[in-house]
Structure 1
């Protein structure tokens, strides 16, 4: 039996809806790559769905393993305090789920390299 997997791209959220556009593009790209059975967005505040809502929905759809990817540049207070508490609550609600937490996307060497390459490219355009 195949374990159904999901990815949740977790962002801070903002009052301006266009703020989520890069995360939506990342979600759509992951979906086109079939990186998981389900790929969803979730937000800490200001936007929907919240992380608890997204995790509950994925559990309802029969997803058994979920990788939460923080779309943050680094491990700040939200990732050190708020996110672990939200995940603990979700694990208590859905003990059957295997919820995994990735490091902040901005800490990945490939992302750091991409940011540096972008800055270098912009500097050469002057």
Structure 2
């Protein structure tokens, strides 16, 4: 896989990586690892994890943390494969509710598309299949 180059962080921009959330702590911990790995990879100073439901931090909590760290614009990235109801409806609504207390301070936000069928996803699928096939040889 070719080396990826981090996206430069615009000034005063925070990033929230949001997943569905789970009752299983180990599932929620994965998002913390993803957020930290992205922070280290990208160099973005403000990267916060959030769970849409069932666990904390919530989108509202993560949004507030971004603003507390100086964000004037918050990018909300749904860590989802498919653009279903959560992406079209639930996350934008929760993001708008989270942003409401900060509108007077000029804080803006955007919800990005989910992972979806990005060309690199095909390589990830190939890698996972290779790992699975290799595991059968052990």
Band of TM-score, shorter chain: 0.7 to 0.9
TM-score by length of 2: 0.78
TM-score relative to the length of structure 1: 0.84
Cα deviation code 1:23-42 (max 9, x no counterpart): 22211112223431211100
Whole-angstrom CA distance in 1 between matches of 2:117 and 2:63: 24
Which residue does the alignment assign to 1:42?
50
> Any stretches of 5+ residues in structure 1 without a counterpart?
none
1:103–1:112 CA distance, 2 compared to 1 (3 A): farther
* Cα separation, partners in 2 of 1:102 and 1:53, compared to 1, 3 Å: same
* Root mean square deviation of aligned Cα: 2.0
1:117 aligns with 2:111: no
Q: What's 1:97 paired with? A: 107
Task: Please tell me whether Structure 1 or Structure 2 has the larger radius of gyration of its CA atoms.
Answer: 2
1:28 aligns with 2:36: yes
Aligned to 1:3: 11
Cross-structure match for 1:64: 72
Residue-pair matches, total: 125
After superposition, the Cα gap between the structure-2 partners of 1:64 and 1:86, relative to the gap in structure 1 and judged at 3 Å, is: same
